[in-house]
Amino acid sequence: MLLVIPSIDLKSGKCKDCICSTLPMIEHYSDLSQNPEQLSQLFRRENSKSLHINDIDSLNNEPNQNNIDTILRIKNSVEIPIQCHSKFKTIDECEFLLDSGIHRVIIDKLIKFDQDKIKNLISYYTSSRVAFYAEIDLRSNDNKCTNVDLEIDDFISKIKEVGGDRVVLKDNSLFTNIERSVEYLNKMANSNKIKITLHDAANNYNELNYINEKSNIFVDSIILGKALYENKFPCQEIWRLAESRLEK
């Protein structure tokens, strides 16, 4: 069973996205975007077992202290594991978040770090708390890891060399053939024997269900962002109805 992980994109300490809704809940969900801790609590009430946070400012090479402060407040507001994807400049930044109680850091650019420092980080905190981000483009080149300019197999080999065992994988091609995507994922996961968390790989319930049923054991979790905020899954209709009644 896939673990579904809601995603929160932070920009200047606020949530970049807003849950789609109709009256009377538009203002309520807009307020939640301005208060990411409360949005996190909403996802937890909706039975989320983990949260994924994208530090958008850092990924855009902008100052990100507001996001770091918000991430720590979110950590204190919910009791579930939180993972953070950021463009860490130093290993010290990873250690700070891990020591502060963030469950997992997702390193954006493995090859820019001293490999011995990465090994030491994983040795101390364990491989379950350090993952690595990879972008692919299934439409044009399914063998290339585009964010580090390496073949995907070579990139995974580097992850294993430093003691890592998980990659967060995002397909930027918006490839619509879900069967082809899952076939590729299973082949890649089997050949490399590495755990995979998918990033925004399902646009609706049917795609999510197909991934859940057809993926092998190495593909164990999926991060949902845009589709989740647009209420593309049947259970969300019940949640939003209940939330509107509670708000009243």
Mean pLDDT of the chain: 89
pLDDT of 240? 67
pLDDT band at residue 64 under the 50/70/90 scheme: very high
Q: What is the pLDDT of residues 112-170, one digit of tens each?
A: 778 899 999 999 999 999 999 999 888 776 688 888 888 889 999 999 999 999 999 99
Torsion sign across C-alpha atoms 35, 83, 177, 205: negative
Cα–Cα distance between 231 and 205 in angstroms, integer?
Answer: 10
pLDDT value at residue 121: 96
Closest listed residue to residue 189, CA positions, set 220, 212, 161, 213:
220
Q: In order of start, what are the domains of the chain with their CATH numbers?
A: 3-247 (3.20.20.70)
Which residues are bridge partners to 5 per DSSP? 223
Percent of the chain predicted with pLDDT > 90: 58
Burial of 61 (0-12, 13-18, 19+ CB in 10 A): exposed
Closest CA to 188 of 164, 146, 219, 211: 219
pLDDT in tens, 209-247: 999 999 999 999 999 999 988 888 877 766 666 666 555
| Residue 67 backbone phi and psi in degrees, to 5 | -65, -40
Residues with Cβ < 8 Å from 84, sequence gap 6 or more?
52, 53, 55, 71, 97, 102, 104, 105, 106
CA–CA gap between residue 4 and residue 160 (Å, rounded): 25
* pTM over the 0.85 mark: yes
